[in-house]
Amino acid sequence: MSPVRMGLGWDVHRIAAGRPLILGGVTVPSEFGFEGHSDADVLSHAITDAILGAAALGDIGMHFPDTDARWKGADSLVLLSEACRMAREAGFEIVNVDSTVILERPKLKDFRMAIRERLAGTLGIAVERVSVKFKTAEKVGPVGEGRSAEAQAIATLEQRG
């Protein structure tokens, strides 16, 4: 049986004025950000679910409920690193992560390397194994109209021999 496991993650947050726009732990200069109980880092949340999914360890809301005052304003990289710790404790190594952020504006490509480096440090893997992509929604639907942002992620884990 193959020791390789894949996990899928997805998240959405509403856009709100006066909130920070944090992606993969990196604050992107913007006049608006994302609503949420934690720091609303939609990318880190999708990656956290991808890691948990690959290890079949449930989902982000199960481990870090938004009804728990402990996670109010939480740094989502802390949640991500905790998910990685749980996956490693269950006997997995993290092989790679690929992801896409869907946000109409601002342009994110200049922040790609900073985001990859921050995520790689949190995941405990080389930056070459962490991919972050950006897409607009072509002005269509809630993302395209600037009302929300989405992120998708996939993670590969390998069971230690």
Closest distance to Mg ion from the beta carbon of 53 (Å): 15
Which entry of Mg ion, ligand C5P, none binds 118, CB below 5 to 8 A by partner kind? none
Binder to ligand C5P among 72, 85, 107, 139 (CB under 6 A)?
107
Closest distance to Mg ion from the beta carbon of 57 (Å): 17
Closest Cα to residue 143, out of 34, 19, 7? 34
Site for ligand C5P in 127-146 (CB under 6 A): 134-136
Cβ contacts of residue 132 below 8 Å, gap of 6+?
24, 43, 99, 100, 101, 112, 115, 116, 119
Q: Contact between 103 and ligand C5P (CB under 6 A)?
A: yes
**φ/ψ of residue 155, rounded to 5:** -125, 140
Binder to ligand C5P among 1, 31, 67, 109 (CB under 6 A)?
109
Q: Contact between 22 and ligand C5P (CB under 6 A)?
A: no
Interface positions with Mg ion (CB under 5 A) = 11, 45
Decide: 15 and 146 in contact? Cβ < 8 Å. yes
Q: Half-sphere exposure of residue 87, counting CA atoms within 13 Å on the CB side?
A: 33
Q: Contact between 147 and ligand C5P (CB under 6 A)?
A: no
Looking at the DSSP assignment, which residues form a beta bridge with residue 153? 9, 99
Which entry of Mg ion, ligand C5P, none binds 116, CB below 5 to 8 A by partner kind? none
Q: What angle do CA 51, 24, 127 make, to 5 degrees?
A: 75
Closest distance to ligand C5P from the beta carbon of 109 (Å): 3
